């Protein structure tokens, strides 16, 4: 195998995929065939047609991707939603296939792993972010020190990069922002951790986290619940 293939995943392997969130009109019909009746109903409730089509395209591509690994029919996959919104496969036979999704602007990324919880985040680097205010509010003391040591002109991109690492862990946990972001420390160059003593309900797992290339102008990161995994540094274009 020369690169990742959307239907093969070795134990311990992590694969990353990216796609445009906007599908050309002639593809939308086929994509709509891949989503479930519940998703079609959710799609019908979007006010704007562009939002509806983006939702359908994102869901249909996710279903095609997972169906490839599982050798299943995309529309038949039992996708369910966890208590804080994280999608998962509600079928014990498919429990080995962990996945997560993130989107920003017109880009959607998918992360899949075999046997480990996984989270992913992607963010468009907006130039108007209140970096200092957000850092004070959401980052740990060690993260704040790391950012403050950087030259001012590098702080915006570094802030977004650090944020994506943190959000990838929060999404890997399945808690999202229901866990205060300052309770996860996700400094570059070391496994991320839930800050000890603050959240007794979260397993004290160390997370492998890596930034990866998703597209120009974006920062992205993936987090996997195992401390020493080799993670891909780029997302491959999804071939459908
Ligand atoms: C998860 C969360 C951090 C996403 O933030 P975001 O930057 O706006 O969005 P992203 O592009 O990174 O991720 C969105 C995707 O993450 C996935 N997701 C949603 N909730 C998730 C969670 N708790 N954990 C992991 N992944 C989650 C979904 O696939 C979603 O895509 P979809 O809406 O098209 O299905 C944020 O929505 C959150 O904290 N939600 C939890 C709050 C809650 O309890 N909501 C109730 C929902 S039932």
Ligand 1 binding pocket mutation candidate from 171, 202, 215, 222 (most atoms within 8 A of CB): 171
Ligand 1 binding pocket mutation candidate from 35, 85, 166 (most atoms within 8 A of CB): 85
3-state SS assignment for residue 19: strand
Q: What CATH class does 116-229 carry?
A: alpha beta
CA of 229 to the centre of ligand 1 (A): 24
Task: Parse the chain into domains and list their residue ranges.
Answer: 1-115, 116-229
pLDDT attached to residue 200: 56
Q: Are 18 and 236 in contact (CB under 8 A)?
A: yes
Tokens of 202: 């979260």
Q: What is the CATH number of domain 1-115?
A: 3.90.470.20
pLDDT attached to residue 3: 62
CA of 103 to the centre of ligand 1 (A): 10
- Ligand 1 atom with the shortest distance to the CA of 174: 24
pLDDT attached to residue 195: 83
CA of 167 to the centre of ligand 1 (A): 10
pLDDT along the chain (240 residues), means of 10: 74 93 89 93 94 95 95 94 95 92 96 95 93 93 95 94 96 92 92 74 80 96 90 93
Cα–Cα distances (Å) from 128 to 16, 144, 157, 221, in that order, read 29, 19, 12, 21
Residue 1's Cβ-side half-sphere holds a number of Cα atoms within 13 Å equal to 8
**Is there a common fold for 1-115 and 116-229?**
yes
């Amino acid at each position: 195998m020369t690169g990742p293939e959307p239907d093969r995943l070795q134990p311990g392997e992590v694969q990353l995929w990216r796609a445009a969130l906007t599908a050309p009109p002639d593809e939308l019909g086929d994509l709509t065939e891949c989503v479930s009746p519940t998703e079609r109903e959710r799609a019908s409730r979007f006010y704007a047609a562009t939002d509806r089509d983006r939702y359908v395209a994102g869901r249909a591509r996710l279903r095609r991707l997972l169906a490839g690994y599982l050798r299943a029919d995309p529309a038949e996959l039992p996708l369910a939603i966890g208590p804080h919104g994280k999608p998962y496969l509600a079928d014990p036979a498919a429990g080995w296939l962990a996945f997560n999704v993130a989107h920003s602007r017109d880009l959607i990324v998918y992360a899949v792993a075999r046997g480990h919880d996984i989270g992913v985040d992607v963010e468009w680097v907006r130039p108007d972010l209140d970096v200092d205010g957000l850092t004070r509010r959401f980052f740990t003391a060690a993260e704040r020190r790391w950012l403050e040591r950087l030259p001012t002109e590098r702080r915006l991109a570094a802030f977004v990069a650090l944020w994506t690492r943190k959000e990838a862990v929060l999404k890997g946990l399945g808690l999202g922002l229901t866990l205060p972001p300052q309770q996860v420390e996700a400094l570059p160059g070391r496994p991320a951790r839930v800050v000890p003593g603050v959240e007794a309900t979260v397993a004290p797992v160390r997370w492998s986290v890596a930034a990866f290339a998703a597209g120009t102008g974006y920062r992205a990161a993936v987090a996997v619940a195992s401390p020493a995994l080799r993670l891909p540094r780029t997302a491959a274009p999804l071939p459908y």
